[in-house]
A and B are shown apart, each in its own frame.
Chain A
Amino acid sequence: MNEKKKANPIRKILESRLFSQIMPVGLLVILTVIFGIATKGRLTSAASLKIIVEQALVVATVSTGGAFIFASGNVSLSLGATTVLTATLSLLAYNKTGSIAVMFIVAIGLGVILMTVSALLSTALGVRVMYVTIVMMTLLSALQQAILGGSTVSLPYEVVQKLVKGGVMYIGFIVFFIVCVVLFHMTDIGRSLRFIGTNNLCAEQTGISKAKYLLIAFIIAGVGCGIGAILAIIRGGSVGTSTLPSLNMDCMLALVLGGMSIFGGSKSYVYSGVVGALTVVVLNQGLLMIGVDATIIQAIRGIAFLTLVTVSQVRPKGLPAPEG
């Protein structure tokens, strides 16, 4: 059969690399301008923009780490639970020792350990990624509830102020982001993960170890969860069972809004998490400021999420494959 297919020009544009790079930034700019006009400049005031950036930092950090997992074509639903549990335990570590350094070490160490366990369950022990991610999400949430009960743990106000004034939130995020950009776009790690996401089988047959690179991706995501946990502590000052309840969803939404294909592969960019996190916050704040009910905003987010996922993928002829 030698059927010649006419390329749909709109589809061609939507699937082009340039579009996937420009679209997220364009969307962010357009949303900011529209909401800026609709709110008569309140959204684009210096104070509002500072709040938007600060609100986006936790999601941006966690989703920047998560981009490594998503690039390989895998989906992790336990990023939020890992971050919150890490934040809880690192705060408890601070309360026990009174040392900021210990809190930082525990946060990053624990983030890495928890994500490594998730990775090893699927790579070394052969459990399906879909099961691992769901079970870990439930397990880590339950663990946090078991540790905290109904209480919250707090960081003393003066310590929070010291960390805020020291710019720890910005420094933590920027350092992690730069390292991630280098690893993702300038080393074998990013190239291999994107290759695995594009064609798993082909990547393995060219000598790329899927298990090894998935483990690396989960470790980097774990570092992101650890730093995200620290940022969440500094921003909120305390952690409870209702802290960051929608972090997982926000990270997925951020990555998709930031131009990352949900199937991973060659059109994966590490900055997707940052652009997307800003877009999520602008969307939320903008809609709130123009008087849209918070409940309806959730539905709008759901619709926007599904629309962008659909637009960013090549529609399969059949139904998506079993895994995931």
Chain B
Amino acid sequence: MKNRSKLKDILFTIAFPVLTWAVMELLCLIFKDKHVIATALDIKTVIRNTGITAVTAYALSFNLKEGRFDLSLGSQRMAGTIIGGLLAMALGLSGLWLLVFAVVFGFIFGILTGLAFISLRVPPMVLGVGMALIWEVVPYVISGGKGLNLFGVEGMGILTESWFQILVVVIMAVLVYILMNYTRLGYETKAVQGSQLIARNSGINIFRHAVECYALAGALVCIAGVLDVSFSTQMASGLGNTSNGVVTANMFAMILGGYIGERTDASVGILDAALTLTIFKYGLSLMEFSDPVNSVVNMLIFIGFLVFQANRHKAALGRARKARIELAQKRKAEMAAA
């Protein structure tokens, strides 16, 4: 029985962003004579980027937890956000409606991808590549290749408000927490995570469950898209399977969040990891690391973390093996003495 105190777990969770901030603060002071977070704008940027990273990681987690990597998630994000945005603008509605429409379209694209998965039954990554090629075309054709441009559009101000962004992210975190801990979906996710075959044999409808995961992922990733476009005011309609970069870049937050969440909950862990990585990236950009270099550093650390994740059980296994041998030797000695 593990008997960790709650306080220890909370400290472990807090340690990630706090230590990252401390290290980056030190580096920024030494090399650039700057603070990582010095102005209200810095706080706003960190909040927004944390929100985008966290919501994208939540979206990824619905499928990735069960071993499915949906490579079309980026195209769903692009399609849902652009179509939702264009519709809201055409109807003269506010930013809130843009968010609602984007979520609805994301949900629809997610359902369609999920239905394709359970119908064709090809490996998720392969399906994702094919679906991305198809989904990328949809916003391109609808927007005439122009994508979405919110610059100067009235009524979109609410999307840029920090309180609104925090509210959206907190609602998403609570929603994911409830979904994963108190609903049938969460129960089924844990079962499928263990073994898809056993889950199916025990009566779980794995097909319906997969479609639900795809649908929720599609809806969530479009929220991240809206948060992103609210700041940049533009979203280009890219082709050639280029849409997924923004999603794969957030995979680290999902994996790190899963690790941190072992002590608390995955929804808390992902939010914590998103904040940690945002502070880290923000610190690097303050030290004038270009975006690609920032990406390289992040990916190298991610690889290091994956290696750690894949091998961390080995030390415990070694200790258990040693203890077993010692016990056997002791027993043998006792039997010999008797």
Residues of B24-74 contacting chain A, CB below 8 A: 66-69, 71
Nearest CB in chain A: distance from B257 CB, A: 15
Contact A313 B197 (CB under 8 A): no
Q: Mark B286-299, 1 if CB is under 8 A from A, else 0.
A: 00001111011001
Q: How far is the CB of A197 from chain B (nearest CB, A)?
A: 13
Chain A neighbourhood of B292, CB < 8 A: 142-143, 145-146
Q: Is A319 within 8 A of B206, CB to CB?
A: yes
List residues 48-74 of chain A with CB under 8 A from any CB of chain B. Answer: none
Which chain B positions have C-beta within 8 A of A245?
240-242
Would B296 and A320 count as touching, CB distance under 8 A?
A: no
B200 in contact with A296 (CB, 8 Å): no
**In the assembled complex, how far is the CB of residue A246 from the closest CB belonging to chain B, in whole angstroms?**
4
CB distance from A21 to the nearest CB of B (A): 21
Is A305 in contact with B310, judged by CB distance below 8 angstroms? no
Query: Contact: B141 with A295, CB < 8 Å?
Result: yes
B157 at the A/B interface (Cβ < 8 Å)?
A: no
Query: Interface residues of A, CB < 8 Å — how many?
Result: 49
Contacts A143-B296, A146-B293 given; does A322 touch B129 at CB 8 Å: no
Cβ B311 vs Cβ A75 within 8 A:
no
Task: Please encode chain B, from 132 to 143, with 1 for each CB lying within 8 Å of some chain A CB and 0 for all others.
Answer: 111011001100
Cα–Cα distance between A321 and B121 once the two chains are bound (Å): 10
Closest 10 CB pairs of A and B: A322-B67, A302-B133, A142-B295, A145-B292, A126-B310, A146-B292, A139-B299, A306-B130, A302-B134, A299-B137
Q: Is A249 an interface residue (CB 8 A)?
A: yes
15 cross-chain CB contacts under 8 A: A75-B125, A75-B126, A77-B125, A130-B67, A135-B251, A139-B295, A143-B292, A146-B295, A252-B126, A263-B123, A296-B141, A298-B137, A302-B130, A309-B122, A320-B121
B235 touches A (CB below 8 Å): no
B174 within 8 A of partner (CB): no
Considering the complex, give the chain B residue whose CB is closest to the CB of A143: B296
Residues in A whose Cβ lies below 8 Å from that of B122: 262, 306, 309-310, 313, 320
A194 to chain B, nearest CB (A): 18
Question: B107 at interface (Cβ–Cβ under 8 A)?
Answer: no
Complex alpha-carbon distance, A138 and B71, angstroms: 13
Which B residues contact A (CB, under 8 angstroms)?
66-69, 71, 116-118, 120-127, 129-134, 136-137, 140-141, 145, 196-197, 200, 206-207, 210, 239-242, 245, 248-249, 251, 255, 290-293, 295-296, 299-300, 302-303, 306-307, 309-311
Give the distance in Å from the alpha carbon of A128 to the alpha carbon of B121 in the complex. 21
Question: Are A262 and B126 within 8 A (Cβ)?
Answer: yes
Beyond A145-B292, A319-B117, whether A299 also contacts B134 by CB under 8 A is yes
Q: Of the candidates A126, A149, A309, which one forms a contact with B126 in the assembled complex, judged by CB atoms under 8 Å apart?
A: A309
Complex CA distance for A164 and B291, rounded to whole angstroms? 37
Asked if A295 meets B124 with Cβ closer than 8 Å, knowing A121-B303, A139-B300, the reply is no
Tell whether A301 is near chain B: CB-to-CB under 8 Å. Answer: yes
Chain B residues whose C-beta falls within 8 Å of the C-beta of A145 in the assembled complex: 291-292, 295
Report yes or no: A298 in contact with B240, Cβ–Cβ below 8 A: yes
Checking B124, B141, B306 against A320 with a beta-carbon cut-off of 8 angstroms, the contacting residue is B124
Contacts of A130 in B (CB 8 A): 67, 69, 125
- List the B side residues contacting A141 at CB < 8 Å: 245
Chain B binding surface SS class: helix
List which A242-259 residues lie within 8 A (CB) of chain B: 245-246, 248-249, 252
Cβ of B255 to closest chain A Cβ, rounded Å = 8
CA distance A130 to B292 in the complex (A): 22
Report the bound CA distance from A77 to B117 in whole Å. 19
**CB-CB contacts of A155-168 with B at 8 A, as 1s and 0s?**
00000000000000
Q: Which residues of B contact A149 (CB under 8 A)?
A: 290
Are A121 and B295 in contact, with the CB atoms below 8 A?
no
How far, in whole Å, are A299 and B197 apart by their CA atoms in the complex? 34
A320 to B307, CA, bound (A): 25
Q: How far is the CA of A303 from the CA of B300 in the complex (A)?
A: 35
Partner pick for B310 among A127, A252, A262, CB 8 A cutoff: A127
Judged by a CB distance under 8 angstroms, whether A323 is at the interface is yes
With A143-B296, A249-B133, A302-B133 already in contact, the answer to whether A318 and B206 are too (CB < 8 A) is yes
| Contact assessment for A310 and B125 in the assembled complex, using a CB-CB cutoff below 8 Å | no
User: Given the complex of chains A and B, what is the CA–CA distance between A305 and B241 in angstroms?
Assistant: 13
Is the beta-carbon distance between A306 and B299 smaller than 8 angstroms? no
- Please pick, from A135, A263, A302, A324, the residue contacting B132 in the complex, using a CB distance under 8 A: A302
- A133 closest partner in B (C-beta): B125
- A322 to B281, alpha carbons, bound, how many Å? 31
Chain A residues closer than 8 Å to B242, beta-carbon distance = 245
CA distance A249 to B307 in the complex (A): 27
**B241 proximity list for chain A (CB < 8 A):** 245-246, 248-249
Known: A127-B310, A146-B292, A309-B122. 9 other contacts (CB 8 A): A138-B245, A139-B295, A143-B292, A249-B240, A298-B133, A299-B137, A302-B134, A306-B131, A320-B124
| CA distance in complex: A261, B338 (Å) | 63
B328 to chain A, nearest CB (A): 28
- Bound complex: CA A309 to CA B242 (Å): 21
